[in-house]
A and B are shown apart, each in its own frame.
With several copies, the nearest count.
Chain A
Amino acid sequence: MGAVAESTLSRLRADFPILDREINGHSLVYLDSAASSQKPRQVIEAMDSFYAHSYGTVHRGVYELGREATELFEGARERIAAFVNWDSDLSIFTRNATEAINLVAYAWGRGNLGPGDEVLITEMEHHSNIVPWQLACEDTGAKLRYLSVPESGELSLDELDAVLAEGRVRLVAVGHVSNVLGTINPVEEIARRARAAGALTLVDGAQSVPQMPVDLRAIDADFYAWTGHKALGPTVGMLHGRRELLKEMRPFLGGGHMISRVEREHSTWNELPWKFEAGTNAIAEAIGLGAAVDYLAAAGMDAVRAHERELTAYALERLPEVAGITLYGPRDVDRRGGVVPFTIEGMHPHDIAELCDREAVCVRAGHHCAQPLMRVLGVGATARASFHVYNTRDDVDRLVHALNGAREVFGL
């Protein structure tokens, strides 16, 4: 099955112009898609053609360019919403996933949290799903709590239940897929249990939407945030929310387009989703993300997931050949996404990444915006390889080769 998945998707490599690059005499092996993915020419061209043929602002221009821009922009919103199975008028364009989470932390959090309330996150969250809640708790007097991450890299639903049973949790904010460990969290189950305990759920889908089928109706969380630049698109984020909540919530950013009527002292708000889109939108970027989800849908998200799973399995098989390596995250590739964090005894991740770069193998080194998780793992930093449709088993071979070469440089 793995081999099938790879051969099916391997034709897609030709769509990514950057893969033609050579660095230090080697062809590019890009293994940092969990940070940001490369873009296929279909996405780049969708934006170009918008700029070259139809550019205009949306919703207000009575003229033809304005009409075309509006159709392209709102059409993209519809396809993006359909891609994750949610209503398009409940699907808000944001700056990135970070802003989407901050939107909820400000517009819902400031109005709904107070002393005695708790926000529950996990030790494997990305800073973008930690810091907004720290700030919101500071402002409201609510308390921030963490679900622990055990050795297995998998959350305990029993611990969740125990915390929920105390009755103070107002919101559970959890990543769908960890950007470090790759853990696929049971967000559907988490949302169900949270709701039963009277708490809302926000899911950070920054790592999930790019690499697996995501059905928001099935997950049934209250908020779901993700980011286009990891999903083959440009830098634009999405927030999907439940209608009643988005209706009740106060706006976040104030300005043009999000209003209905502006009086001197106060204003009334536009309909959803525009109530939460203040100022001129990233129109070209939304259109680019529309092209990206078209591209992913055509590839088939099941095939994308199979491809990621296959490459992860292959990496987990081959990387132990490197002496002194430690791998992190769940062992079961059915429970993890396409990311493999590792350390090598005697070599700091920074140096690993630097030496991989000599062979044009791009891996990340650092805390991956997850400092609390690094402390749980007992490391200052890790190296990390992550995959997308354009990666192949050969890329994993190149990584292993580069790592062995790095050990040699270090005289290990």
Chain B
Amino acid sequence: MDALYRDYILDHYKNPRNFGELDPHDLEWHDHNPLCGDELGVHIVVKDGRVADLRFHGQGCAISQAAASITSEELIGLPVEEVAGLDADWVIDQLGIEISPTRRKCALLGLKVMRGATTGDASWPE
């Protein structure tokens, strides 16, 4: 089996969870990866201080789409303030594959926009 393109990664890529838009929504954010032009937007509905619902949309490679999909699943239900504490290692852990430096930003774009929506922080997760 391929070390990078595992079955569940390809599954998340082909059938991304929580893909789409949410209207109305409470939070939104949009960003891109300047290296490859990948785009990602997110809509979030907040209830009782938690991420009640979340949809992401955009285009990108298997890694970025799968990472966004997996991240979205983890975020739903989380207290909004806890999103700020998620970092690069957390994403890569969730992905469960080895990410080369070249693909790092692909893997992090999902968390970047989701964190952006909840915290206003536009920087890359470290």
Instruction: Write the residues of chain A forming the contact surface with B, with a CB cutoff of 8 angstroms.
Output: 59-62, 66-67, 70-71, 259-261, 270, 346-351, 354-355, 365-367, 371, 374, 380-381, 409-411
Given the complex of chains A and B, what is the CA–CA distance between A66 and B102 in angstroms?
A: 9
Whether B103 pairs with A354 at a CB distance below 8 angstroms is yes
Whether A70 pairs with B101 at a CB distance below 8 angstroms is yes
Query: What secondary structure prevails in chain A residues at the interface with B?
Result: mixed
Whether B34 pairs with A350 at a CB distance below 8 angstroms is no
Q: Which residues of A contact B8 (CB under 8 A)?
A: none
A-B contact pairs, 13 of them (CB 8 A): A66-B102, A71-B101, A270-B34, A350-B60, A350-B62, A351-B62, A355-B5, A366-B35, A366-B37, A380-B59, A380-B60, A381-B37, A410-B62
Instruction: Write the residues of chain B forming the contact surface with A, with a CB cutoff of 8 angstroms.
Output: 2, 4-5, 10, 14, 32, 34-39, 59-63, 65, 100-103, 106
Q: Which residues of A contact B4 (CB under 8 A)?
A: 354
User: What is the chain A residue whose CB lies nearest that of B58?
Assistant: A380
Given the complex of chains A and B, what is the CA–CA distance between A374 and B34 in angstroms?
A: 13
Q: Which residues of A contact B60 (CB under 8 A)?
A: 348, 350, 380
Q: Which residues of A contact B36 (CB under 8 A)?
A: 349-350, 365-367, 380-381
Task: Give the shortest distance, in Å, between B67 (CB) and chain A (any CB).
Answer: 13
Q: Which residues of A contact B37 (CB under 8 A)?
A: 366-367, 371, 374, 380-381
Task: Give the shortest distance, in Å, between A262 (CB) and chain B (any CB).
Answer: 10
User: What is the chain A residue whose CB lies nearest that of B11?
Assistant: A411
Query: Given contacts A348-B61, A350-B63, A350-B106, is CB(A67)–CB(B100) below 8 Å?
Result: yes
Given the complex of chains A and B, what is the CA–CA distance between A162 and B106 in angstroms?
A: 43
Q: Which residues of A contact B59 (CB under 8 A)?
A: 348, 380
Whether B101 pairs with A67 at a CB distance below 8 angstroms is yes
Q: Which residues of A contact B14 (CB under 8 A)?
A: 346
Given the complex of chains A and B, what is the CA–CA distance between A396 and B69 in angstroms?
A: 35
User: What is the chain B residue whose CB lies nearest that of A367?
Assistant: B37
Q: Which residues of A contact B101 (CB under 8 A)?
A: 67, 70-71
Q: Which residues of B contact A70 (CB under 8 A)?
A: 101-102
Task: Give the shortest distance, in Å, between A408 (CB) and chain B (any CB).
Answer: 10
Given the complex of chains A and B, what is the CA–CA distance between A70 and B101 in angstroms?
A: 10
Q: Which residues of A contact B100 (CB under 8 A)?
A: 67
User: What is the chain A residue whose CB lies nearest that of B106?
Assistant: A350
Q: Which residues of B contact A67 (CB under 8 A)?
A: 100-102
Q: Which residues of A contact B102 (CB under 8 A)?
A: 61-62, 66-67, 70
Task: Give the shortest distance, in Å, between A274 (CB) and chain B (any CB).
Answer: 9
Of B10, B37, B38, B59, chain A has the most CB atoms within 10 Å of the CB of: B37
Q: Which residues of B contact A349 (CB under 8 A)?
A: 36, 61
Whether B106 pairs with A261 at a CB distance below 8 angstroms is no
User: What is the chain A residue whose CB lies nearest that of B62?
Assistant: A351
